[in-house]
Structure 1
Amino acid sequence: MKAGLLLYLGGEVEVPDVHPDQVAALGCGRDLPALLDRHVLLGPEQAARRLGVRRVDFDHVVRLRWLSPVGSVDVDYKRQGGVTTIPLYD
């Protein structure tokens, strides 16, 4: 939806309704993996891998504020210490 490929048709933000034909047409596209790759937010490990740098170098870039997260997600590790906030990068 962020890519502008599926029209927002419903009133529920958490569970948006899209037309099945739009989803089917999008699923048939050969460029779907590359398209999704461009629009999915990445965690720090994934972002470092995408940039082709070591994680420690990625952390330095973030520390220097050359790159900053565009969002975050909370992950609940119930058995290992509770909720951890993971920054997400574009």
Structure 2
Amino acid sequence: MSEKATVTSLVVRRFITRGLSTDLSGNPSGTPHHPGQVAEVRGREDLTKLVAADTPLGPEQAAACLRVRRVEFDRMVEFTWIRAAKCAEMKFGTSRAEAAVVPLYRTADVDALPATHPEADWAELRQAGKGRSRDSPA
């Protein structure tokens, strides 16, 4: 039995970008889509894989997915090895003053980093423990 895919608004937007769906709304926050296309996408055997590829990850989640420290992931962002697919405002209280903008990265883009940047010593990056520099003795 296959696991049911959870489709977020980011995933829907990526499906539109990929040409798998057409946005019928003039409102960017609206969600009307062509019913035939929705049925076609829902019937795809690879839907779970498609959704997983477009699932958004925050920077901490992306670093964990790569098994590197957050500081290494932040450096990859600085080097423009990866770009956020979207930014989301996360509220930590009741006012907008207590909100932070968090970049969200596509899982597929995060997963592709080791293959697209073989020049990095991924084994060494993954050995550096939290709170230690890579040059610190073990």
TM-score (norm 1): 0.71
Cross-structure match for 2:35:
20
TM-score (norm 2): 0.51
Cross-structure match for 1:88:
104
Stretches (4+) displaced over 4 A = none
Cross-structure match for 1:6:
21
The secondary structure found in structure 1 opposite 2:27 is coil
The secondary structure found in structure 2 opposite 1:49 is helix
Greater fraction helix: 2
RMSD over aligned CA atoms reads: 2.4
Q: Percent identity?
A: 34
Query: Once the two structures are superposed, what CA deviation does each residue of 1:33-73 show, in whole Å capped at 9, x if it has no partner?
Result: 221233344210222233332323213333xx223543421
For structure 1, the residue ranges without an aligned partner over 5 or more in a row are none
- In 2: Cα distance, 1:54 partner to 1:85 partner: 21
The secondary structure found in structure 2 opposite 1:14 is coil
For residue 52 of structure 2, the aligned residue among 37, 42, 48 is 37
